[in-house]
Structure 1
Amino acid sequence: MSNNQAIDDTFHQSLFRAIFEKAPIGVFTSRPDGKNFDANPALAAMLGYESPQATRANLSEIATQIFHNPNLPIEDVEVIQKAPDLVMLSYEYARPDGSSFTAFLHICTVHEPYTGTPYILGLVEDITDAHDLQKKLRESEQRYRSVFENAPVGIYQSTVDGHYLNVNPEFARMHGYATPQELIDDVRDSSRQLYADPNRRLQLLKILQEKNAATNFEALSRRKDGSTFWTMRNVRLMCDAEGKPIHIKGFVTDISERKQLEAMREDVERIIRHDLKSPVIAMLAGLKMLSWRDSFQEDQDLVHELQETAQRMLAMLDLSSVLYKIEQGIYDYETRPVDVVSLLGDIADSLLTFHASKRIAMHVQPREITECHIMGEPLLMRTALENLLKNALEATPDLDEVTVRITVDTICTIAIHNAQPVPEAVRDRFFEKYATAGKTSGTGLGTYSAKMCTEAMGGCTEMTTSDDEGTTVVVQFPLA
């Protein structure tokens, strides 16, 4: 060997050692059987050792000491020997403390130039974070798929024009299909095949175009065999970064049973209204006859009060049909100025007859105001305010007080306050139909009808409640 050759060899050995020591990734050399193992500082740190020296001192057989599955490296050595070029493998490595990490192993076979002795040169790249992320993504996908497949509600994904891209088994079942794929293959026009009224889907699309989402959207749906059932949908329009629609995602619940119960309840209410009107009318006729008799002249005030009460009962029975028309959006009425100060005073006097142990304190701001006229329908106005004031009185303990504040500005604001909080069970549903708690005879219709009547006249209602401040219901109406 010439001196120049020796110098070159020394230089290359020094260069390799410098790269070996300073490389930011793990580097090692070993014999094919795992002996004569040498690791750089980066690999020593990956394996959980303080230094390469500690690694060499503690690792005598790398195949059995650092691999979770010792058989894999032995099998791969045969692959490397047959294909000596660089090979990339993935392993899970074990540390002395019991922890582990996943890494790519870039490996090849090299031979000692003078003796021809084979050595393995390996580069180790820690990919634990990426591996964990992929694992979490797979687990998340599996959880989503499990929810999708087993959800008790229908879930679907469709194009805007109504072609289904993906549906879960429950969505297929409720529409009369044996499998999701059968529905996807069969339905070409969902507005006509799965809606009893095709225009209903057009209405849904209009809402999605305006708000990107539709909540509690009810529709009469159609099954494969042509039968119908009621559904409620919560749907979102998915768009790209530029705001262009991509597809629709939705959740569908079968509400047929609820609709049947509501229909039964409405039938019962209509029957009750019909059956009660006859005795009330008879009562009015009897009171009118009593008012004509001289022997009852001293009781005319009482007879007159009973007549007014019976008239209100008759009006309330008629109101039930009015509320139904308001719900359907078909109620038409003529407004006229109504003095809410006088009306509230009349309502308070009437209610205190049945709640003599309680008080109602009424305040008007500004104080000089004695009248406040708003445009409304007298029956609807009385119903709304009477129900809200009655509700507050019923919640108030004996000897306690309900406060009514009427504020006249650009609008008329009526605030009814009592010291008791609304029960937790109905706070979020205070104005909903049939929402009631704590009343053995409560129907859950009082606050609902108050809200319906108020909004029908262009007003608005809101409620605030807390354990410390009690409950305040605010009603606002435009001035006449």
Structure 2
Amino acid sequence: MNVMNAVFPSALHFDAGLPAFLALLLSFGTISLLLGALLIVLARLRSNRSSLETRIRELRSAYEKIETLSHERREFEEKFQAIFDNSPYSIAFNALDGTYLGANKAFLSRWGISREEALTRSVQDLAAVDNDERLRFIQMLERDGSFSNMETKISRPDGAVGYVLFSASLVSIGGLTSILSTAVDVTSLKEAEQSVKRWRQKFDLTTAAAKLTFYEYDVDNDVLSWSGSMLDVLGYNPQEMRGGLDVWTELLHPEDADRATALFEEALSQKKRYIIEYRLRRKDGSYADVFEYGQLFARTPDSPKRVLGIIQDVSETKRTEKALMQSEEKYRAIFNNAPIGIFRTSYDGRFLEANPTLARMLGYRDRDELLSSVESLETGIYPHPHTRRDMLEALLVSPGGIRREIEFKRKDGSPFYAVINASLQFDDSGRPAYLDGTIEDITTRRAAEERLRQSEEKFASIFRLSPDGIVLFGLDTQRIQDVNDAFVDLFGFSREELLGKTTIELGMYQTPAVRERLYELIHAKETIRDYELTAYRKSGEEIVCLLSCQLIDINGHPTVFAVIRDLREMKRMQQLMIQTEKMQSLGGLAAGMAHEINNPLGIIVQGVQNTTRRLDPFLEPNIEVARRHELDLHRLAMFLEERNIFRYLKGIRDAGERAADIVSNMLSFSRNSERTFSSNDLSAIASKALELAGKDFDLKKHYDFRRLNIVREYDPALPLVPCVGTEIEQVILNLVRNAAQAMARAGTESPALTLRTKRMQDWAVIEVEDNGPGIPKDELARIFEPFYTTKKIGEGTGLGLSVSYFIITNNHHGHLSASSREGRGAKFVISLPLGQDA
């Protein structure tokens, strides 16, 4: 039990001090022997006085030896004490009852006590291990007398847990059995091992999760070693895969083998990193898609030339990519073949995506044309810009989705009706980003509903939709039962003024006889077709009409259904056609006259040139004739110069050439064009149109085109444009004459007309801008309508701008638009495609 009480895990950082202790014991034994020898010598001195001298010398020698040994002992003790005290390991001596007999500084420092305090304490006071561990140590001491480097867990003075390598031995000091113990602190080493273990576990977990396989290839010895997730990736144990490079090449997919080995050999030869994607055969015969990352390391004194690499299994990624691609293909198939339009637009009003169905709905060839052509949704697909703005306001209130019936317009401007389902998406900052949705064309459905409504309402839709005036009146009462809007507009009465009245009461006929004749025809034939008559509007204006009517039965009552067509426009067209025919005849006469005029003009110009040459004093023939008649040509030239004869001749020549140009332009403009597209200089065409317009003047109205300030802003870099030159010239001429006449009628001060040519992406643009009175807003929307004119009767036909619009949009697939600011001028913009086939 005394041994049990003496054993303890002494402290932190102990080391075995047994060899030093044994040396100390040997020193003490030697001294004892020397003292015994000295006593023997003294005894002999007593018995043998005769050898005293000799014995004294021997004694002195022995004393000197003792002194030397004592000195060596003191040095040894000092060294031992220095080693004992300064050892980095804890060393302690204990009696068998557990009382401390001694301890070094490391021990005292670790426990935070002084040497005196340690000598008053026992092992039980400073116990740091549990009872089971203490019992195990006691058993080992009792059985073997010692044990060494036993790892054990201890509790430190501050409560922290540490680990030590503990050693203990039974020793005898001065005949007293004691326990010598040492302890080496391995806490840091233990923690490092545990940290390495944890990182190894993390590394193994990461490797397994990422399916990473590591290899090292000894190039010089052709040895390939594997680690990592080889078993998880390919099903092989790393030990099974040991061997040379052929182990790897045999697993390559036949389609990837040549490429993979070539890349590997190239990386070896060029000593560079490499990345290879290929397939490796698994143990079950299937193939895994892998990425390989490798690096060649040169030979060093400590290691051979080797390649380190990582192989990552990307089969799952490949399957995901394939599934995603298949999903994308399915989505794209649905997107492209959906019977409804699908779109994504930006919040500010641009198409981001659209399917082919939507492109066809809107009248475009395909998706690409739709996305490139429609720059602004508000004006590109909505007849009224406020329609989209209203929809955006509704989406801000209900971003999850709205459903509305909306009118859209196609590329050609024609309307169609659709149901739009839209939702609003936001960006990361919470701002509106884009709209997703579908558009379903309900034009056919609406048409069917409209036909049903027409059937139910009988003639109500005919009344509203017909451009001709329609009237229903009873055959017996002769009173008007219903009229459509066109009838109201045609005769100028309100609907309330018409209903219940007779045509006699309204004063629509020239004489009652005309009305009676119509009723006679209805009773006789029940149908009248294309009967021309003259009627009167409410204002008294006379209108020529074409009447068709039929007797029908409505609810058992005979009713006259009459359709009245306004013939005023047709009559005007007939007059226009007559006028056009006259103009064509006049054009033919003008062309013939121009040819006839060209002949005398040629003679005049040629005569002036010949006269000028025959007056030249330096021509040899003139000199010879003048010498024959004794005439001084130089004096004659001086006379002619002084009398301005040369200037008059030059004026005649210039006037003749100018007249010839005018005649040439008239001929070019009056000729019938074959509408052959060719590459033309728009700036030259504009200048030619200005030159023709410059001949436009009216003496009665003091109007002269030449008084305008003409500004030409031509782009010299504008390429040749495929077009019909005469038609574009006609359009420009019409626009500049309209502008000039408008400024003249308004009395514009300092009238100016600007012609510009420029390029805007794939379009050639011509702008005609004036500083005249401008065009009122209510008239601006109708200026391209046929027969619409703001000029007085007889001054214009209303066909100039409509013909120009037709030439640009239909013949040349371009655009013609107008903008105006009242009182500040108007601007017409012609856009012609540069890519049109010439």
Q: Which has the higher contact order (CA 8 A, sep 6+)?
A: 1
- Could you state the TM-score of these two structures normalised by the residue count of structure 2? 0.29
For the pair shown, the structure with the greater C-alpha radius of gyration is 2
- Could you state the TM-score of these two structures normalised by the residue count of structure 1? 0.46
